[in-house]
Structure 1
Amino acid sequence: MVKNYSTKNFTNEINVDTDSRIISGYAAAFNNIDSDGDLIVKGAFTKSLNENGVDSLKPRIFHLYQHNVAEVLGRPTVLKEDDYGLYFETKIANTALGNDVLNLYKEGVLNEHSIGFKTIKAANRGSYNEIQEVKLFEFSTVTFGANANTPFLGFKSQFENPEEITQQFDKVEKMLKGEITPETTALLSIYLQQLKTTFLELSTKSVEAINPLEDSLSEVNPIDEAKEIEAKKAQDVELIKALMRGYKTA
């Protein structure tokens, strides 16, 4: 399945200037095979940076907290590729969230980052997948457990239960009630990519949950099995529609 939105985490030394509120470091590293078997090469971010980077005509790449579009830490003042990876400098916003995050940076609690992107071009190199071009939506300050190689699933956790989904839609609704700026549009675009990917994966998993071995042992009719799969897909679609209807009429 082609994902509309993916994440990859990276741990590295971070420079923190509390006076200027500027954080600097790397959001991604090149030529490093990660736990997913992916390797990002230099140049993968070039097109995104040219189109939506700091020095572009439409700067739309944000620095978020936990990949949450409702929790913006700021916009990078510097975002560029060098020989090591994707380097960034961000002035953290003077907000309650920004102050908390800045203190956590200062105390060394936060030192990991994750990029939110869509793979545009990749090549299978046998032992790994070489990512040659991506569309970069954002990069985030993230927290992890003891295992730094654990894939980040934070944005998916926003949609794990009805209460969390409602909270997310409420936050997005507040964004819509305010002034609709290019920044708001860009953030909503990221959110929709996350939402689309999450529900596609949930739908796929619900279909895969049907055990073909159990079906064969119980001599399930192939026609009935196909109907069951289609019914499950329909249920997932109706769930998404219901959620969106509830959001639109809230």
Structure 2
Amino acid sequence: MPELPEVEVVRRGLEAHVLDGVFEDVEVLHPRANRGQDVPLADLLVGARITAVRRRGKYLWLDLGEDALYVHLGMSGQMLIGPTSSPHVRIRARVSGRDLNFVDQRTFGRWLYTPQVAGVPVPVAHIARDPLEADFDRVATARLIRRKRSAIKAVLLNQEVVSGIGNIYADEALWQAGIAPTRRASSLLQREAVALLDAAEEVMRRALAEGGTSFDSLYVNVNGESGYFSRSLNAYGREGEPCRRCGTPLRRIVVGGRSSHYCSECQH
């Protein structure tokens, strides 16, 4: 699943093209792309105006007033503006004269028309704030992290603790903060936990500036272009390569069922 920078790139692209647009037509081409919806999506969306394009963590939605169109990108979801020849179009929409296509090769993603609670769609209501939100409380989040007894890598991936951080940016933030992924979260000092959240924010802002991280054609922005932050990664996917701080070959281990890349010399 795309992480925060990739979803924010998509959000900004949609905002530039469909903000204040009105749905004129919607066609669901694959039932999984609108699973959980009892009423035909066209009946719900046609005539609705997009008043904002929002995101929390990895989760994206089009604000329609009291309700929202929740967009879950899954592993391969793409929101493409304009005509496309992709054989994996799952939903076609027309928004104020523009084509908006939901392309999803693996069909794990979906669109869902849903009410909002406190300004977020129901499926996102349990998700914690992310480090790029203006009202993100890093001190309180650091305290919450330190109450967990799991490995810090697993805690960073818990979207109910802090959202937006996935496997790539967890490895990058831990490397930048000099913290081993296996270290118990409860062993961190408050200043270490705050520094780790600062590192996560910095890494994700740098990734956002480079269009996100693309390893294949499954993640692209609304114009079909890939991000190139993969060239700047310091830890993720660099097993056996020298640490850019100390030269020690990076190791790959499994933490909480997820591959983790780190330096055994300068991450403690």
* TM-score, normalised with respect to structure 2: 0.28
Q: Which has the higher helix share?
A: 1
Q: TM-score of the superposition, structure 1-length normalised?
A: 0.29
The higher-RCO structure (CA 8 Å, 6+ apart) is: 1
